[in-house]
Amino acid sequence: MKFFNLHTHQFTNTPDVLELVNQYPQDFDSSVPFYSIGIHPWYIVEDRIDAHLKIIEEKLKEENCLAIGECGLDKRIEIPFEQQVSVFEQQLFLAEKYKKPVVIHCVAAYQEVISIKKKLNISVPMIIHGFSKNNQIANQLIKEGFYLSFGKFLLRNPDLKTVFQNIPIDRFFLETDTIEENIQQVYELASNYKELKNEELQSVILNNYKNVFQNQF
């Protein structure tokens, strides 16, 4: 593995790339080699929550299920926030039970995510995917033990450069999510911002991967 894609919705089967493909319980694809699985706050359906949680728990027992998620909180959708919190917390209990990292979708709810982590005393790694906010929020999340993953907004928003440059070397990942660019292009920009050779950045993220996912490649 030269490149690790922390979060993508498309399996491309690219040589030298380990892709953590986001999966949903309702349309699971067993042909994907490595994946995360979770209930996204956008797709919470009240009468299917229990069934989806059962599917997630079964998949978490498999070695190629590397994480739970994406799951989390989003204050800009119509799904009741209290219900989002309940579904998120149930998934965090599963993450703790099976010792799997959590890939988090968070929109305008960072303080709530931090509070839930503290309240439930979550010990597994928690990764905010698609980070796009300022230094203040980034620093607070890092202080509270979160990892941050960068992709689309790093490519699209030059203002994120200084935020990314300030992230400790052992606390970030890179991703493509739904963008057309490939993970190698994200690595190229990130290595430029961090003033690292591409091979050095690959080594950094490989170490982070081993620390978080406990997989050896």
Domain-located, residue 132: yes
Closest of 149, 88, 150 to residue 122, by C-alpha: 88
The per-residue pLDDT for range 60-85, each reduced to its tens digit, is: 999 999 999 999 999 999 999 999 99
Domain-located, residue 48: yes
Domain-located, residue 167: yes
Give the Cα separation of 1 and 3 in Å (integer).
6
Q: How many domains does the chain have?
A: 1
Query: pTM (2 decimals)?
Result: 0.97
Domain-located, residue 15: no
Domain-located, residue 202: yes
CATH number, domain of 88, equals 3.20.20.140
The per-residue pLDDT for range 138-162, each reduced to its tens digit, is: 999 999 999 999 999 999 999 999 9
Domain-located, residue 107: yes
- The radius of gyration of the chain from alpha carbons, rounded to an integer in Å, stands at 16
- Dihedral sign for Cα 76, 147, 118, 213, please: positive
List CB contacts of 104: < 8 A, sequence separation 6 or more.
Answer: 69, 70, 71, 72, 113, 126, 127, 128, 129, 146
Domain-located, residue 187: yes
Terminal Cα-to-Cα distance of the chain (whole angstroms) = 7
Domain that holds residue 162: 3-10+20-213
User: What's the chain's length in residues?
Assistant: 217
